[in-house]
Structure 1
Amino acid sequence: MLTGKQKRYLRKTSHPLRPIFQVGKEGVNENMLIQINEALEKRELIKVNVLQNCPEDKDDVKEAILEGTEAELVQMLGNVITLYKLSAENKTIQLP
C-alpha cells in the first residue's frame, strides 16, 4: 500500500510519461493483462489510456487492471490510469 507521500512522488515522476497501453472496444482481456504485467516489470510505472469507444466504464476498467496485475493505483486523471508495481529484477524507482 502506497502512502500519500509516495503517491505524490510517483505522480511527479509519471508526469512526462505517455500512455503505453490503450483500452478500446475489446475492453480488458487476458492478453492485455499479461502485457501490462510485463511492462510493469520492466518500467515499474506506466500509464494506460481508456479510449472513448471502450464499452466498459473506466472505473470497471481500472478495477479489472488492478485486480489482474496486482498493481497499485497512483492516479486516475480523466481517462488515464497511472499504475505502479515494484519490480522484482529492475528496481529503478526509489520511493521516499
Structure 2
Amino acid sequence: MITSKQRSYLRSLANTMEPIFQIGKGGLEDTFFRQLDEALEAREILKIKVLNNSGYEAREASDIICSELGCEGIQAIGNKLVIYRKSEKKPKIELP
C-alpha cells in the first residue's frame, strides 16, 4: 500500500510524462494487459489516455487494470490515468 506522501511523489513524476498507451474502442483485452505488464516491469510508472469511444471512464479503467495486474492506481483525472508497480527485477524509482 502506498502512503499519501509516496502517491504525491509519483504524481509529480508523472506530471511531465506523455501517455504511452491509449484505451480505445477495442477496450481492455488480454494483449493490452500483456503490453501493460511488460511496460510496468520496465518503467514502473505509466500514464494512459482513455479515449471517448472506449466506453470507460478513467477511474473505472484504472480499477480494472489495477485488479488485473496488481498495480496501484496513482491518479485518474479527466481522460488520463497513472498507474505504478515496483519492478521485481530492476527497481528504478525510490519512493520517499
If the TM-score is normalised by the length of the shorter chain, which range does it land in?
over 0.9
Say how many residue pairs are matched.
Answer: 96
Shift of 1:62: 1.8
In 1: Cα distance, 2:13 partner to 2:61 partner: 23
Q: Which amino acid aligns with 1:8?
A: S
Q: How big is each residue's C-alpha offset from its partner over 1:37-69, in whole Å with a ceiling of 9 and x where there is no partner?
A: 100000001111100111234333222111111
Counterpart amino acid of residue 12 in structure 1:
S
TM-score, normalised to structure 1's length?
A: 0.94
Structure 2 match to 1:51 = 51
CA separation of 1:92/1:35 partners in 2, compared to 1, >3 Å: closer, same or farther? Answer: same
1:2 is matched with which residue?
2
Q: Aligned residue for 1:38?
A: 38
Corresponding letter in the other structure for 1:67: S
Following TM superposition, by how much is the alpha carbon of 1:36 offset from its aligned partner in structure 2, in angstroms?
0.4
Rounded to whole Å, the distance in 2 between the matches of 1:22 and 1:66 is 16
The answer to whether the aligner puts 1:84 opposite 2:84 as a matched pair is yes
Distance 2:59 2:84 in 1: 17
- Note if contact 1:43-1:90 (Cα within 8 Å) is conserved in structure 2: no
Query: TM-score scaled to structure 2, two decimals?
Result: 0.94
Whole-angstrom distance in 1 between the partners of 2:71 and 2:14: 15
Percentage of pairs with the same residue = 36
Q: Are the structure 2 counterparts of residues 95 and 28 from structure 1 closer, same or farther at C-alpha, using a change threshold of 3 Å?
A: same
Q: What amino acid does structure 2 have at the position aligned with 1:5?
A: K
For the residue of structure 2 that corresponds to 1:2, the secondary structure is: coil
Unaligned stretches of 5+ residues in structure 1: none
Partner of 1:21: 21
Q: Which whole-Å CA distance do the structure 1 matches of 2:90 and 2:16 have between them?
A: 20
